[in-house]
Amino acid sequence: MEKLKKEERREIFDFVFSVLHKTSKKLGVSAYIVGGAPRDIICGLEPKDIDVIVFGQDYSTFAKIFISEIGEKVNFFKAKKYEMIRIILSDNLTVDISPPKSKNLIGDLKRRDFTINTLVIPLKDPKPNILDPLGVATDDITRKFLRTPSDPEKTFSADPCRIIRAGRFVSDGFFADEKLISAMKKKIPSINSVPKERQGEELRKLFLSKKPSLGLFLLRDIKFFNYAYPKIVPALYKDQKSPYHFEGVFEHCARVVDLTPPDIVLRLSAFFHDIGKAFTEKILPDGRVVYWGHEVVSAEIAEDFLSTFKFPYDERKKIVFVVKNHMIYYTSQWSDSAVRRLLRRIGDDPELVLKFVEYDIKALKDPSEKLKNIQELRNRIYSEILKLGKTKIESPIDGYEIQKIFNLKPGPLIGQIKQAVINAIVEGKIEPNKESAISFIREYLKQIGQDSEK
């Protein structure tokens, strides 16, 4: 199915429900939509994940019939470790079909993660009808109260990844009671029994929640990072001795996460951008505290963390790029060549970097002047882009052409010439075109005693 627009999702949900109903009726089985979809509907949100449990019939047969009834080609796969078939209808909607966790519906619901996920929609009904078999889900959703339908320690023992999920619901405004938090602290050592990829999926949802800092602070306090990713531990409670910041390293990063829109690249860039300060702090002889090179260390940690938790390569690449290049100390005194040098550095995606820098500035003590500066810098960068006709500053003549035109052999000299051309463009000495580059190279070779043009 084609990628869905937000306004189409409920219409698509109704279509998917009708196909599920038809499948259930065709096979004569009891089946239910459970968990997130009915909860989201109660909360006034659009369902993104539809979980279906099937009684009295092989769930894979149900899945096959459902796929055939959809009427068009869809992607699906069977989870290796878990009894579940995931059908990907679009970027915004998946259907998971699995057997129940118990012999009856009540038993199944008591084995689920949280009471707010124990609502069901029977597929025997021709229209969606939300039921609350345990009699607690609707009230807990209304009160924003997070608890488990059974003993929380047993609930987390059954699937420790639910601990991260709890952090996500806290980030969405749910209140976790002390009994739940106590169980999370007790069971967090078992988190590494869960594949890193699954942990990463739950972390993604947390970072895309309403206020991620709430869940991040909870995960920090129950020592999630100590067990799941100990390399980050030195940054968890590290103070920032900076005249521009008023929070610790972790607190500042989490607050910038909250300031950014729900875009996974921006939010993860925010989380990692200053983490390296915990590893680069130096006290100068005059007493000043500096964090030189922290952006490089932060980028290295981001790359390792995101690789560990199996985030997609294209996201990792963008996040690491932003983190590594977020330190921009612009003032109006910058020369045009300084602006071009910056463009040379961030030319792969200047707007992404500048957008992030804006959110980072908003988390400072007094952001007003720096926000004006960054807008001025943006204007100057785009003025340079108009002059250059592109964002990335490159040599307008490649190595093969240099060899052919100037009768040179392959070697380090070719790279040296290309870099000299780029530097000349950055410094405004030549225009960014081939003719100017050839003229420049001709003079450059004369200066270094390599005048061997044909």
**For position 433, what pLDDT does the model report?**
87
**For position 4, what pLDDT does the model report?**
42
What's the mean per-residue pLDDT of the chain?
91
- Please tell me the least confidently modeled range out of 155-169, 282-296, 423-437: 423-437
**For position 97, what pLDDT does the model report?**
96
**For position 3, what pLDDT does the model report?**
40
> Residue range 349-361: average pLDDT?
94
If one compares 238 and 4, the residue with the highest pLDDT of the two is: 238
Give per-residue pLDDT as tens, 251-291: 999 999 999 999 999 999 999 999 999 999 999 999 888 89
Is 10's pLDDT higher than 70? no
**For position 246, what pLDDT does the model report?**
66
Asked if 326 contacts 319 with a C-beta cutoff of 8 angstroms, the reply is no
Give per-residue pLDDT as tens, 318-337: 999 999 999 999 999 999 99
**For position 432, what pLDDT does the model report?**
85
Q: Which two tokens stand for residue 88?
A: 């990907």
% of the chain beyond a pLDDT of 70: 95
Is 80's pLDDT higher than 80? no
Give per-residue pLDDT as tens, 217-247: 999 999 999 999 999 999 999 998 766 666 8
Give per-residue pLDDT as tens, 112-128: 999 999 999 999 999 99
Give per-residue pLDDT as tens, 417-432: 999 998 888 888 888 8
Give per-residue pLDDT as tens, 134-152: 999 999 999 999 999 999 9
**For position 235, what pLDDT does the model report?**
97
**For position 152, what pLDDT does the model report?**
97
% of the chain beyond a pLDDT of 90: 74
**For position 6, what pLDDT does the model report?**
44
**For position 104, what pLDDT does the model report?**
95
Is 37's pLDDT higher than 50? yes
